[in-house]
């Protein structure tokens, strides 16, 4: 019994120390930079958006003492670090951190859709070369899926998942006549989707909604990263055990990832938000501010506030 009490005491004191943090925010403190790694599509989009594209793939241009984290890591760090600044995908923004206005515009879906919010990156897709499908059915379903991506029905799903679709005027009802394959029973056909895991949720929602429209084919999702998107459809692993029919990339395709004509395209935009701790007094930044912060010209918050 004594031991249990002792244990509780240790536990309690431990958690007390963990919770005790005071609320005054001191602008004379240094800014701690948080960034994604150099292969991240979010980073490329962010750096381009703030006019600092050189730093997209070169860490040495960033101010000293930066921390490299993934999307979730930056989000959780901004809950703790009162003097940090980072950037995340808009879909991840929650009430535990403060999303900064960019050039005076609030980071909301509405503002991205009406094109006033400027920080964003593309979501892309790539399919197998048209002469490289195992059979006509698989090819036609894949083509029908790509067509569906560009309908307003596809756009609705993308919006629902927090990304921003490209504008489209036709509905699936308008064009489904062109896709004879969707009238037959495809339940024995498996179409494989892969590539970027940032796009996994959107892709999953799209295929779940599209499968019943196209003969109930079986979509199989295996998302392992943007570079696998091209590699497993048209690149070195296209005939390997993990081949895919459709791949996604949450960044622009690299020069080495140029596929055959008519097999690549964009399906959506993803907005990027600069975030800080809730205690932070700053509410708005400009592209130039962010560039000065990330290049180290502004070392403390004071310098930004002025």
Partner 1 sequence: MSNKRKKFDKLLQIITYASSSIGVLILSLIVIFVIKNGVGLINWDLITNDYHAQFYNGGIDEVTTFSNTSRPINLDDEDVYSEKWGIALRDGLDREGKPIVEVTYIAEDSPLNLMYDKNNLDNADFEIEVENVISSIKFDNKPSALSLYGAEYMINELDAENQFREIVFSSLGGGIRGSLITTLYTIGLTLIIALPIGIFSAIYLNEFAKKNFVTRVIRSMIEMLTGVPSIIFGLMGLAVFVPLTTRYTPADGANLLSGSLTLAVILLPIIIRSTEESLKVIPDDFRFASLALGANNSQTTFKVVLPSALPGILTATLLAIGRVIGESAALIFAIGTTIKDDISIFGKSTTLAVHIWSLLTDEPANIELASTISIIILIIVLVLNISVKLLSKKYLKRV
Partner 2 sequence: MKKTKQWFKNLRNNFHFNSKKEIVDFFVRLVFLISTIISASFIIIIIAFIAREGIKPFVTDNNGLGAVNLFRFLSGRVWLTGTTFQSNLYSVGFIIINTLYVALLSLLISMPIGVLTALFIAKIAPKKLSSIMRTVIELLAAIPSIVYGLFGAGVILPFVYNFAKTLGIQSPGGNSVLATVVVLSLMILPTITALSEVAIRSVGKDIEHGSLALGATKTQTHFKVILTSAKSGIFSAAILGIGRALGEATAVSLVAGNAQNGPSFGIFQTTSTLTSTMLQGLKETIGLDYDIRFSVGIVLMIVILITNMVLNYVKKKVGNVNVK
Q: Which residues bind partner 1 (CB under 8 A)?
A: 3, 6-7, 10-11, 14, 70-72, 75, 88-89, 91-94, 109, 152-153, 156-157, 159-160, 162, 171, 173, 197-198, 200-201, 208-209, 211-213, 216, 220-224, 241-243
Burial class (CB in 10 A: 0-12, 13-18, 19+), 166: middle
Phi-psi region of 104 (alpha: psi -120 to 50; beta: other; left: phi over 0): left
Among 225, 252, 265, 296, binds partner 2 (CB under 8 A): 225
Distance CA 201, CA 250 (A): 12
264 binds, among partner 2, partner 1, none (CB under 5 to 8 A by kind): none
Distance CA 194, CA 250 (A): 12
CB of 251 to partner 1, least distance (A): 13
CB of 74 to partner 2, least distance (A): 9
184 binds, among partner 1, partner 2, none (CB under 5 to 8 A by kind): none
Distance CA 102, CA 107 (A): 7
Residue pair 274/99 in contact by the 8 Å Cβ criterion: yes
Going by C-beta distance under 8 Å and a sequence separation of 6 or more, which residues neighbour residue 174? 151
Distance CA 22, CA 38 (A): 35
Site mask for partner 2 (CB under 8 A), range 17-56, x = bound:
xx-xx-------xx-x-x--xxxxx------------x--
Write out the residues near partner 2 by the rule CB under 8 A. 17-18, 20-21, 29-30, 32, 34, 37-41, 54, 57-60, 65, 67-70, 72-73, 76-81, 83-84, 196-197, 224-228, 231, 250-251, 254, 256-257
């Amino acid at each position: 019994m004594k031991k249990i009490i002792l244990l509780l005491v240790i536990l309690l004191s431990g958690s007390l120390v963990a919770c005790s943090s005071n609320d005054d925010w001191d602008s004379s403190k240094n800014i701690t930079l948080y960034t994604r790694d150099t292969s991240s599509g979010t980073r490329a989009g962010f750096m381009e958006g703030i006019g600092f594209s050189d730093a997209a793939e070169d860490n040495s241009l960033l101010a000293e003492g930066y921390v490299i984290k993934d999307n979730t890591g930056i989000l959780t760090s901004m809950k703790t670090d009162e003097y940090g600044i980072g950037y995340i995908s808009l879909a991840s923004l929650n009430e535990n951190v403060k999303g900064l206005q960019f050039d005076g515009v609030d980071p909301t879906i509405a503002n991205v859709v009406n094109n006033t919010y400027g920080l964003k990156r593309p979501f892309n897709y790539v399919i197998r070369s048209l002469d490289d499908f195992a059979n006509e059915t698989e090819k036609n379903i894949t083509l029908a899926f790509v067509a569906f991506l560009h309908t307003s029905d596809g756009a609705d799903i993308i919006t629902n998942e927090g990304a921003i679709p490209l504008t489209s005027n036709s509905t699936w009802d308008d064009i489904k006549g062109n896709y004879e394959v969707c009238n037959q029973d495809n339940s024995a056909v498996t179409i494989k989707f892969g590539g970027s895991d940032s796009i996994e949720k959107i892709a999953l929602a799209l295929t779940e909604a599209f499968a019943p429209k196209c003969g109930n084919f079986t979509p199989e999702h295996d998302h392992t990263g943007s570079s696998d998107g091209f590699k497993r459809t048209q690149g070195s692993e296209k005939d390997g055990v993990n081949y895919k029919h459709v791949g996604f990339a949450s960044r622009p395709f690299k020069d080495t990832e140029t596929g055959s004509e008519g097999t690549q395209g964009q399906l959506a935009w993803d907005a990027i938000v600069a975030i800080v701790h809730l205690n932070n007094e700053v509410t708005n930044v400009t592209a130039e501010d962010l560039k000065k912060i990330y290049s180290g010209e502004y070392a403390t918050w004071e310098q930004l506030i002025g």
